[in-house]
Amino acid sequence: MGDTRWKVLMAMLLLGAGAVMAQLPARDTEMDEVLRRAEEVMAASNRDFVNAAKDVGAVFEAARALHEKGDETRAAEYFAKGLQMSPWSLEEQLVYAEVLRKLKREEEAVEIGEMVVKRAERDALANEALKLLGRGPVEGPPVFQGPVAGPWLCFVKVGPVDDVVMKEAMERISLTLGLPAYLAEDTLGLPAADRSALDRWVTKQVIPAIKWSHPVARQLLKDLGGEVPTDIEPKKLLRGLVAQMRAEGQEAQAENMEKEMRHFQKWDKQWRASGLLDMLRAHLLRTPMPGAVTVVGVTAADLCEDEVNYLFGSALTGGRLAVTSYARYTSEFNQMPPERKKLLGRLHKQLLSGIGYALGVPRPTDPTSARAYPASLAEHDAKSEYMSAACRAGFEKALGRKLPMEAMPPEMRGPLRPK
C-alpha cells in the first residue's frame, strides 16, 4: 500500500514539473544566433571600426528582429550601433525612427523622417518617410490637360521614373526657361535592352588589358575551353580571371574585379538613345501635342550609342525632341550617399542641354556653362547650373522671348542684369 502511494505521489510531482516546464518559453535558437553574430560585429568595431563596418548587416538584422518581437529598447541600442557604422543606410534609419517613436522619442524620429524626405531619390523611400511624418505620398507633376498658349515643354516618362525626381526637375526647368511644363498622360514602356554593359566592359576594357600570349593566360583559356578570349562567355571569363588572381595571391586585384563585376551586373542593361528618340517620335505621330511644344523624354534607363559607352542624353537638333537619362546621376549608381539635390542639379544641366539642342541652340564654348559638353560625370559636375550669355541668347532667339531672371547666374541678377 505504502509503495503504491509513493508511486502516485511521484507521478503527481512529475506531472506538475512537466506542467511547469511546458509554461517556460522555448529557447529561440535562431534569434540567439542572430544576436550572437551582431554582438561579434559590435565587439569587433571596438578594435577595428573600419573592417567591422563591412559586416554591419548582421547588426541591422538583429535590430530588426528585436523590433519585430517588440523589444524596442534593445532594438534601439542595436540600430544606434549599426547606424554609427553605416549612417547612410536610409532604410534602416526609417525603421530606427519607428522604434524611437514607440519609445516616445518623437523629436528624434521626426528629425530622421525629415532628413530622409529631403534626400530620398526614389518614391518608395520618400513615401515611407512621409508616412512616418503623417503626410501624404509624393505628388506627381501636373499632367497635360489641353492647349497651351505660346511655347511649352511636354515631358514623357520612358519606363519607370520617380515622381520625386520628375516633379522637382520639371518645376525648376519651368522657372529657368519661363515655359509651362506638363507631363504627358501616357508613360512609354521600355523596349528590350539593346546591349549588355558587362559584355561591353569585358570586350572593350578587360580583354585588351591582358597579354593573352603569356603561358599562364594561354593555359587559362585552354582550361576555360577556348583558344581566344572572345570564344568564352564574358562572365565565365571573368570568374576564371578572378580564380587565377587568387591562385597567384593577388587578392586585392581579385576583389576589385569582383566589385566591378557586381556593378556591371546590377547595371547591365543599356538602351540606344537613338532608339528611344525614334520611339518618342513614333508616339508623337500617333498622338501629336498641340502648339509650339518641345518634347522631352525622361528615363531612369542607362543610355548608350554604338561605340559610345554611355550617354546622359540626346536630341534631334532643331527637331524639338530630346531624351534624357538620370541613371548615372543617382547615388546608387555611383555608390555615394543619397542626395536628391545633387541628382536634380545634374539633371537640370542635362535638361538645359537637351532642350537647347532640340531648339537648335549651338553648343557653348564656356566649359562652366550648364550646356557645355561633358566627357565624364566629373566634368558634368564641374559645370555650373546656369547657362553662358551665348546660351541664353540662343534660347531667347529660338523662343522669341526674353528668359526670366532665374536663367542667369545669381551674380548677374539685379542691377547688373543686362537690359
pLDDT tens, 105-117? 999 999 999 999 9
pLDDT of residue 401: 94
pLDDT of residue 10: 42
pLDDT of residue 237: 96
How many angstroms separate the CA atoms of 389 and 100, rounded?
A: 52
For the chain, what is the HEC assignment? CHHHHHHHHHHHHHHHHHHHHHHCCCCCHHHHHHHHHHHHHHHHHCCCHHHHHHHHHHHHHHHHHHHHCCCHHHHHHHHHHHHHHCCCCHHHHHHHHHHHHHCCCHHHHHHHHHHHHHHCCCHHHHHHHHHHCCCCCCCCCCECCCCCCCCEEEEEEECCCCHHHHHHHHHHHHHHHCCCEEECCCCECCCCCCEEHHHHHHHHHHHHHCCCCCHHHHHHHHHHCCCCHHHCCHHHHHHHHHHHHHHCCCHHHHHHHHHHHHHHHHCCEEEEHHHHHHHHHHHHHHCCCCCCEEEEEEECCCEEECCEEEECEEEECCCCEEEEECHHHCHHHHCCCCCHHHHHHHHHHHHHHHHHHHCCCCCCCCCCCCCCCCCCHHHHHHCCCCCCHHHHHHHHHHHCCCCCHHHCCHHHCHHHCCC
pLDDT of residue 323 exceeding 50: yes
pLDDT tens, 295-312? 999 999 999 999 999 999
Bridge partners (DSSP) listed for residue 155: 183, 296
Q: Which three cell numbers stand for residue 269?
A: 542593361
How sure is the predictor about 27, in pLDDT bands with cuts at 50, 70 and 90? low
Beta pairing class for 303-305 and 269-272: parallel
Q: Rounded mean pLDDT of the chain?
A: 92
Domain ranges within the chain, ordered by starting residue: 33-132, 152-181+294-303+312-416
Task: Tell me what the mean pLDDT of segment 316-330 comes to.
Answer: 96
Task: Tell me what the mean pLDDT of segment 72-96 comes to.
Answer: 97
How many angstroms separate the CA atoms of 407 and 197, rounded?
A: 36
Bridge partners (DSSP) listed for residue 157: 298
How many angstroms separate the CA atoms of 315 and 324, rounded?
A: 9
The percent of residues above 90 in pLDDT, for the chain, comes to 90
How sure is the predictor about 415, in pLDDT bands with cuts at 50, 70 and 90? low
CB-based contacts of 320, cutoff 8 Å, min separation 6:
293, 294, 295, 358, 359
pLDDT of residue 345 exceeding 80: yes
Task: Tell me what the mean pLDDT of segment 221-240 comes to.
Answer: 94
How sure is the predictor about 20, in pLDDT bands with cuts at 50, 70 and 90? very low
How sure is the predictor about 9, in pLDDT bands with cuts at 50, 70 and 90? very low
pTM, 2 dp: 0.88
pLDDT of residue 411: 87
- Alpha carbon distance, N-terminus to C-terminus of the chain: 120
How sure is the predictor about 5, in pLDDT bands with cuts at 50, 70 and 90? low
Task: Tell me what the mean pLDDT of segment 199-226 comes to.
Answer: 94
CATH node for 152-181+294-303+312-416: 3.40.390.10
Fold matches, 33-132 and 152-181+294-303+312-416: no
C-alpha distances in Å from residue 250, one per residue of 242, 245, 247: 9, 5, 7
How many angstroms separate the CA atoms of 325 and 152, rounded?
A: 21
Beta pairing class for 293-299 and 303-305: unpaired
Cα–Cα–Cα angle for 303, 196, 345, nearest 5°? Answer: 30
Q: Which three cell numbers stand for residue 2?
A: 505504502
pLDDT of residue 3: 57
How many angstroms separate the CA atoms of 299 and 259, rounded?
A: 26
In one-letter notation, the amino acid at residue 329 is: Y
Count of Cβ atoms closer than 10 Å to residue 224 Cβ: 18
How many angstroms separate the CA atoms of 326 and 334, rounded?
A: 12
Cell numbers 586585392: residue: 252
How sure is the predictor about 15, in pLDDT bands with cuts at 50, 70 and 90? very low
How many angstroms separate the CA atoms of 137 and 140, rounded?
A: 9
Cell numbers 580571371: residue: 241
pLDDT tens, 245-296? 999 999 999 999 999 999 999 999 999 999 999 999 999 999 999 999 999 9
How many angstroms separate the CA atoms of 57 and 89, rounded?
A: 10
Q: Which three cell numbers stand for residue 26?
A: 522555448
Cα–Cα–Cα angle for 216, 222, 224, nearest 5°? Answer: 105
Count of Cβ atoms closer than 10 Å to residue 131 Cβ: 13
How sure is the predictor about 353, in pLDDT bands with cuts at 50, 70 and 90? very high
pLDDT of residue 233 exceeding 90: yes
The percent of residues above 70 in pLDDT, for the chain, comes to 92
Domain over 33-132 is classified CATH 1.10.10.10: no
